[in-house]
Structure 1
C-alpha cells in the first residue's frame, strides 16, 4: 500500500494506506472464534516445543525461514483454514483473520496476488523512469525533481511488495510510512511545477515544511501512539489537497498545453479504479481480492503518467530555451 505523477500517487498511496490501516485496527471475526484460538493453542503446544519444534525447523524450506515464518505462524495458517472450513460447512460467510481475508500462501508470499501487483507497479515505474531519463535531457527544469520523486515511489512499491509478502510489525510500518512519504513528496512536486519554477524560494520553504511534517508524523506514530485513525485522516487530507491542486492546474492549462488531457485522464482513471477497493470481497480462488485487483489495474497508468511527464519536461525545456514565460 503501493506504491507517480502527483494525483496518481496520492490516490494509490491514499487508498492503499486507508484500507490497510482500517483493516488492521481491530481484531476480526475469524481470529476471535474460540475454535480458532483453541486450535492455535493446541497446535503450538503440540508442534512448537522441544523435538517437534526442531523437526519443524529442520524441514522448513530456507525461503520460509528467511522471510520469518515461525512455527506459531504456521499454526495460525493451518487453523485459519480449519476455521474457514467449519464456516463454509455451516453455510456462513467466510470470515477475516487479523484484519485480512484468508489467502492461499504461495511459497513465502502471504498475499501472492497483491505482492505480484505491487511488484508489477514497481517494475512499470522503473521501466518508464528509465525511458524518461533516456528521452529527457538533464537540463529540463523538472528533471531532478521527477527523478527523486520516482525513487521515492519505487521505494514505496518495494515496501508494498514486502508487506504483502510478509506482514510483520516492521513491514507494516515501512509500508505506511513510505506511502506517506510519497504523498508528501507529491505535494512538493506539485509545488515545484506550479509555483517553484518561477519562485524557487517557495519550493524550498514548502520542502522544509514537508520534511518537518513527515518527521513529526513518523515520530508521533513510532514513539507516542500508532494511531490508525490519525494516520488515515492525515493521508486523506494531504492527498485531497494534492489532488485538487493538480486538477486546478489541468483546468488552467487546458487551452495552452496540448498534453494536459493525459494528466486529466490519469486522475479520472484512478478515481474510477479506486472504487474497486469498495467491493471488499473474499478472494477468488483464495488469491485475488479487491485490493489486488485494484493494484493490478493501476499498472498501465504508469505508462500514461510518464508519457505526460516526458511531454511536460520537454515543453518546459523548450520554453526555457526560447525565453517564454512558464505556465
Structure 2
C-alpha cells in the first residue's frame, strides 16, 4: 500500500512537470526551431555562427541549437502575450532573459551569495570556536564535504548536526552510522536525478520530507533545552527555513524575466545561514564551557 502511495506521488510529480512544458510543444515553437537550425546550424552558416559567437558563450557550452531554442522561445512568448494568454514554460522552465551565459541570472547570483555567506560564516566559526569544542569537527569537516553536492545537502547537514547534538555526543558510534546513512541517501538521490531522470515532483517531495524531519527534530531539541539563551536562534532558523521553503512551491512567471520564486528563495535564505552559524558558534562555546567545568570537577 505504501509503495502504491509513493508511486502515485511520483506519477503526480511527473504529470506536473509534463504539464509545465506547454511552450515547447507548440507547433510555432517547433517550426521556428527547425527552421532556425536548418538556416544557422550546418555548413558555412554554422561556421559563421561560431565566428560571431562570444567566447564566453562557447566556453559555457552554448550551442547553435541552444541559441535557436532561446530565440524561438521569445518568439512564442510574444505570440502568447499578444493573444492575451498566460506565459508558458519551455522544457519544464520559465522563460528567463539571458545575461552573458547565465540562463537564470538572478538564481545564479543568489546561489553564489548563498555559498559565499556559508563560506564566510564557516570561516568565522573556525576562528571563534576552539577545536577542542565537542561540536567543532562535526560543524566544520562534514560541512566542507556536503558543500560539494547540491542544495538538498544543506538540510541533510542540519539533520546530521541535530543527530550529533541530541545523541551523538553521548553515543559517537550512532552518529557515525547515521552519517553513513545520510551520505548513502544523498548519493542515491543525486544519482537518480542525474543519471536516471530529473523528476521535479520527486525532488520536491524528497526535500519537503527532509525539511519536515529537520523541523520536528530541532524543535523537539529546542523545547527540551529552552533554558539556553541561544536556543531562540535555533527556533528562528528552523521556522524561517521551513516557512521560506514554501517559496519553492510557488509557481509564477519570472518578474522582469529574471526574478522567480526559486531566485527569491535563494536570496531570502542568505540571512538564515548567518543566523544558523551564529547559533552553532554559541552552542559550541556553551558545550566547551560545560565540558571544561566537568573536567575541573573531576
Distance 1:273 1:23 in 2: 22
Q: Do the aligned residues in 2 keep the contact of 1:149 with 1:189 (CA within 8 Å)?
A: no
- What does 1:42-191 align with in structure 2 at a 5 Å threshold? 42-152=35-145, 154-156=147-149, 178-191=150-163
1:284 alignment partner in structure 2: 255
Partner Cα distance (2:258, 2:197) in 1: 33
Q: In the alignment, which of 277, 280, 286 is matched to residue 315 of structure 1? A: 286
Query: In 1, are the aligned partners of 2:20 and 2:93 still within 8 Å (CA)?
Result: no
- Compare 114-123 and 296-305 and name the one that shifted more: 296-305
Equivalent position SS for 1:79: helix
Q: Does the CA-based 8 Å contact 1:152-1:181 persist in structure 2? A: no
CA contact 1:125–1:150 (8 Å) conserved in 2:
no
- TM-score, length-scaled by structure 1: 0.79
Aligned 8 A contact 2:17 2:201 in 1:
no
Q: Where in structure 1 are there 5+ consecutive unaligned residues?
A: 1-19, 157-177
Give the superposition deviation at 1:193.
1.1
**What RMSD, in angstroms, separates the aligned Cα atoms of the two structures?**
2.4
User: Cα gap change, 1:282/1:209 in structure 2, threshold over 3 Å: closer, same or farther?
Assistant: closer
Q: More displaced, 213-222 or 45-54?
A: 213-222
Q: Partner of 1:165 in structure 2?
A: none
Higher relative contact order (CA 8 A, sep 6+): 1
Shift, 1:247, TM fit: 0.9
Q: 1:308 to 1:22 in 2, by over 3 A?
A: farther
> Is contact 2:49-2:64 (8 Å) kept?
yes
Task: Provide Cα deviations, 1:89-118, integer angstroms capped at 9, x if missing partner.
Answer: 111111111111111000000000011110
Q: Is the 8 A contact 2:211 2:242 kept in 1?
A: no
Q: 1:213 aligns with which of 185, 200, 204?
A: 185
2:112, 2:125 → 1: CA distance?
Answer: 20
Partner of residue 4, structure 2: none
Structure 2 length as normaliser, TM-score? 0.87
Larger Rg: 2
On the 8 A contact 1:114/1:295 being kept in 2, the answer is yes
Cα distance, 1:219 vs structure 2: 5.0
**Unpaired segments of 5 or more residues in structure 2?**
1-12
On the 8 A contact 1:64/1:107 being kept in 2, the answer is: yes
Contact in 2 for aligned 1:149/1:182 (Cα 8 Å): no
